[in-house]
Amino acid sequence: MKALSFRLIVLALCLPALSVGAQPERPIPYPLDPIRGFDRAVERGTRTTTGHPGAEYWTNTATYRIQAELDPATATLTGVQTVQYFNNSPSPIDRMVIHLRQNLHRPEAIRNRFVPITGGMTVEGLAAGGRSLEEVASFGRPGYILSGTLMYLTLPAPIEPGGEATLEMAWHMDIPPEGAPRMGHDGEVFFLGYWYPQIAVYDDLVGWKAEQYQGDGEFYMGYADYEVDITVPEGWLVAATGTLQNADQVLPTEVRGRLERAATTDEMVRVVRSNERRAGRSTAFGDNGRLTWRFAAENVRDFAFGTSDQYVWDATRARTGENGHTMIHALYRPGASSWQRSAEFTRFSIEHMSEMVMPYPYPHMTSVEGAIGGGMEYPMITIIGGRRNDLSLFNVTYHEVAHMWFPMIVGTDEKQYMWMDEGMVSFNTNLGTEAFFDIDPWREDELFYHGIAGAGIEVPSMRHSDEYPIDTMARLIASYTKPALMLRALQGMVGEDLFLEAYREFARRWAFRHPTPLDFFNTFEDVVGENLWWFWRSAFYETWTMEHVVADVRSDEEAVTVTIADEGDFPMPAPVRVTYSDGRTVDDVVPVDVWLSGRREGTLRFPAGDVVRVEIDPDGFLPYLYRIDNVWER
Ligand SMILES: [Zn+2]
């Protein structure tokens, strides 16, 4: 669809002044709220006010070496891990925070959704720098304190700037049955997400940003390299974040040959078929009936894996950028409807997103079926459950694949700013659906949003993801649907090409970093060359709706004068198209300054002539609550 660019110059950089004594007829947006630590980060040179990371920007990194063994019969996972943590910050670190997210399932956990109850994560031992540490009652001496899903660790010696620490841990956990958010097992498929003790993010804004995992809100994670050994029974296929390092030990020659074909041709290859699902055919035979699969991943914010002895396996490859390729895998039970097309959908999503945002940088993307109701993203892998038709599986697949860019590559804080990844991903998914099925997904989103928009039960998008009204549409609309519609409105306002330029520039600047909403807003303004504070405020901090109507159309010998009224509270430029009886059209825009000056009506003058139709937002970029008043016809 061709876009009408209704860009405009905003003259005022802050609240426009009303003439003395005049009362505004409408609310005027406040300036943006500050973000904790942001101004100080600018002073210290780690961030800027132009949306670039600062010259002094840093992230801490880590290397995880994990050996984990799954026992499907008892649904338990046992692990040992060694983590090297690198302090790239300018400050010494004497205390660390570690996520034990499986403790969400303990009976006493604080939660904001229903989950199955398990024993959670049991820490069997912990050592820092080779020194064994015990659970302690207070922070005064080296040791750890367990609190809900968090472990606070006081180190024997601080990690100096530029220094590192080595942590060794032994642990075991119960794998929750179906009903766990985002992972678990259904008896046949085991999917392990947020399973190992993971070091929290220490960032340039606030230092440790470690919040309890309560179930609803998702994650804020740092970048690390992983080497993970996963031991499962022979005959069980394993798909994971990272690249398989020992295919010759766990896969028979014939399976490896099929994978090789998938990697070097564009064929869709059936790697393991339904009549081959047994040790000796789908996998090698193991020692004592068990096989250890070894994976490695670089620069990812998490590691997850799925395994089953019921899976079949399809593979192909996808193009990523000019000459690049990545592997595509789909593992599913043969009865799962539409999954025969999973690898095709996954490939399309990777290629489409690579073109739209930036080339996919990782060696594979894998979709696995089962165990959960919806879909959940992890680096290089997604788990998708539920009964689905083609459109539904495509939608979820594209959505989860788009998460590889937001928040996997662009490492936003999903807990604090859920809209940043879910909104962007929902926006991308609609563009993907439009391209694949040639249908318009925007009207459906508008209808969903209108279900509560302006009804007083909406909440702003800029809300912590653990603080939404539980089990309501408000959370979905504020985090997914509305921000997607707002990005669409922004795209209409600045023009599709310039929008994409800014969107890509944001991803490029903040890949493998931790941007806040201000970094997004500032990058956009930097690229577009306009101050859009009123848009960010109205779109993400308020629940105002857009409502332009054609109030009046008058013709005389000199001009056609069109009056547009704004009956909503969201100040937004109103693009107007006038059509004359000879079919000629003229476009113009009521600039946002009219609304920001406190007025409810603005007028546009068009060339005189025989006007037969006046339409607001003719290209359909704006999510008006009522479209019926958008058109005047003679
Ligand atoms: Zn999502």
Residue 1 has a pLDDT of 35
Cα–Cα distance, 315 to 324 (Å, whole number) = 17
Q: Compute the distance from residue 119 Cα to the ligand 1 centre, in Å.
A: 28
Q: Compute the distance from residue 392 Cα to the ligand 1 centre, in Å.
A: 14
Q: Compute the distance from residue 399 Cα to the ligand 1 centre, in Å.
A: 6
Cα angle for residues 409, 176, 236 (degrees, 5° grid): 75
Residue with the two structure tokens 């080339």: 359
β-bridge mates for residue 190, sequence order = 185, 307
Query: Exposed e or buried b for every residue in 426-462, given b needs 16+ CB within 10 A?
Result: bbbbbbbbeebeeeebbeebbebbbebbeeeebbebb
Cα–Cα distance, 514 to 516 (Å, whole number) = 7
Cα–Cα distance, 442 to 326 (Å, whole number) = 30
Q: Compute the distance from residue 422 Cα to the ligand 1 centre, in Å.
A: 5
Residue 465 has a pLDDT of 94
Cα–Cα distance, 168 to 152 (Å, whole number) = 15
β-bridge mates for residue 153, sequence order = 96, 144
Cα–Cα distance, 424 to 418 (Å, whole number) = 10
Q: Compute the distance from residue 538 Cα to the ligand 1 centre, in Å.
A: 23
Q: Compute the distance from residue 412 Cα to the ligand 1 centre, in Å.
A: 13
Residue with the two structure tokens 């804020």: 220
- Quickly list H helices, 340-441: 342-356, 390-402, 418-437
- The separation between the first and the last C-alpha atoms of the chain, rounded to the nearest angstrom, is 27
Residue with the two structure tokens 């409807």: 337
Q: Compute the distance from residue 266 Cα to the ligand 1 centre, in Å.
A: 29
Q: Compute the distance from residue 401 Cα to the ligand 1 centre, in Å.
A: 9
Q: Compute the distance from residue 609 Cα to the ligand 1 centre, in Å.
A: 50
Contacts of 279 (CB under 8 A, 6+ apart): 234, 235, 285, 286, 289
Q: CB–CB of 333/308 below 8 Å?
A: yes
Residues with CB under 5 A from ligand 1 (ion): 422
CB atoms within 10 A of CB 273: 14
- For the entire predicted model, the pTM comes to 0.95
Give 305: exposed, middle or buried? Use CB within 10 Å, 0-12, 13-18, 19+: buried
Q: Which residues of the chain have pLDDT under 50?
A: 1-18
Kindly tell me the sign of the dihedral angle through the C-alpha atoms of 448, 453, 458, 459. positive
Residue 627 has a pLDDT of 80
Residue 20 has a pLDDT of 52
Q: Compute the distance from residue 449 Cα to the ligand 1 centre, in Å.
A: 17
Q: Which helix (H) or strand (E) element contains residue 233?
A: strand 224-233
Q: Which helix (H) or strand (E) element contains residue 444?
A: helix 442-450
Q: Compute the distance from residue 288 Cα to the ligand 1 centre, in Å.
A: 40
User: What are the helix and strand counts (H, E) for the chain?
Assistant: 13, 31
Kindly tell me the sign of the dihedral angle through the C-alpha atoms of 34, 38, 44, 45. negative
Residue 21 has a pLDDT of 55
Q: Compute the distance from residue 480 Cα to the ligand 1 centre, in Å.
A: 8
Q: Compute the distance from residue 411 Cα to the ligand 1 centre, in Å.
A: 14
Q: Compute the distance from residue 381 Cα to the ligand 1 centre, in Å.
A: 13
CB atoms within 10 A of CB 408: 25
Cis peptide bond N-terminal to 90, omega within 30: no
Q: Which of 311, 297, 68, 343 is nearest to 192 (CA)?
A: 68
Contacts of 248 (CB under 8 A, 6+ apart): 256
Alpha-carbon distances, residue 215 vs 386, 392, 415, 479 (angstroms): 20, 24, 11, 16
Q: Is 270 helix (H, G, I), strand (E, B) or coil?
A: strand
Alpha-carbon distances, residue 547 vs 132, 212, 357, 567 (angstroms): 64, 40, 31, 5
Q: CB–CB of 402/429 below 8 Å?
A: yes
**Within a 13 Å sphere around the CA of 25, how many CA atoms are in the beta-carbon half?**
12
- The per-residue DSSP string of 23-83 comes to PPSS--PPPPPP-TTHHHHHHHTSB-TTSSBPTT----EEEEEEEEEEETTTTEEEEEEEE
Q: Compute the distance from residue 475 Cα to the ligand 1 centre, in Å.
A: 12
Residue with the two structure tokens 């493998």: 512
CB atoms within 10 A of CB 196: 26
Q: Is 299 helix (H, G, I), strand (E, B) or coil?
A: strand
What single letter denotes the amino acid at residue 449? Y
- The per-residue DSSP string of 476-510 comes to HIIIIIHHHHHHHHHHHHH-HHHHHHHHHHHHHHH
